[in-house]
Amino acid sequence: MDEPLEDLADRFSQIADQYDDKHGSKEKPIYNACATLVIEHADPRPDDVVLDLGTGTGLIALALAGDAGHVVGRDISDGMIEQARSKAADSGIENAEFGYGEFRNPQYDGDVDVVVSNFALHHLPDEKKREAIEAIADLGPHRFVLGDAMFFGSPDPEEPLFGHGVDAATVGMLVDVLTDVGFVVTAVERVHDQVGVLVAERVGGD
DSSP 3-state of 25 = coil
> Any contact of residue 28 with ligand SAM (CB under 6 A)?
no
Nearest to 57 by CA among 31, 37, 27: 31
Q: Is 193 in contact with 152 (CB distance < 8 Å)? A: yes
| Distance in Å, CB of 138 to ligand SAM, minimum | 15
Q: Which of 6, 66, 11, 14 is nearest to 42 (CA)?
A: 66
Which whole-number Å values give the CA distances from 136 to 40, 67, 152, 194, in the listed order? 20, 22, 23, 23
Q: How far is the CB of 147 from ligand SAM (least distance, A)?
A: 8
Among 63, 120, 137, 169, the residue binding ligand SAM under the rule CB under 6 A is 120
Shortest distance, CB of residue 119 to ligand SAM, whole angstroms?
Answer: 4
In 3D space, the residue among 27, 20, 64, 25 whose CA is nearest the CA of residue 42 turns out to be: 64
Candidate ranges 40-48, 88-96, 119-127, 168-176; the one touching ligand SAM (CB under 6 A): 119-127
Binds ligand SAM (CB under 6 A): choice among 41, 72, 102, 115: 102
CB contact set of 59 (below 8 Å; sequence gap of 6+): 20, 23, 24, 35, 118
- For the chain, the 3-state helix, strand and coil shares in percent, each to the nearest 5, are 40, 25, 35
Give the nearer residue to ligand SAM in terms of CB position, either 25 or 153: 25
Please list, in sequence order, all residues whose beta carbon lies within 8 angstroms of the beta carbon of residue 186, skipping any fewer than 6 positions away. Answer: 199, 200, 201
Q: Interface with ligand SAM includes 144 (CB under 6 A)?
A: no
Residue 123 found at the interface with ligand SAM (CB under 6 A): yes
> Stretches 91-99, 120-128, 156-164, 198-206: which one binds ligand SAM (CB under 6 A)?
120-128
- Find the binder of ligand SAM among 118, 146, 177, 183 (CB under 6 A): 118
- Binding to ligand SAM (CB under 6 A) within 29-88 occurs at 35, 53-56, 59-60, 75-77, 80
Contact residues: ligand SAM, CB under 6 A = 5, 8-9, 12, 23, 35, 53-56, 59-60, 75-77, 80, 102-103, 118-120, 123-124
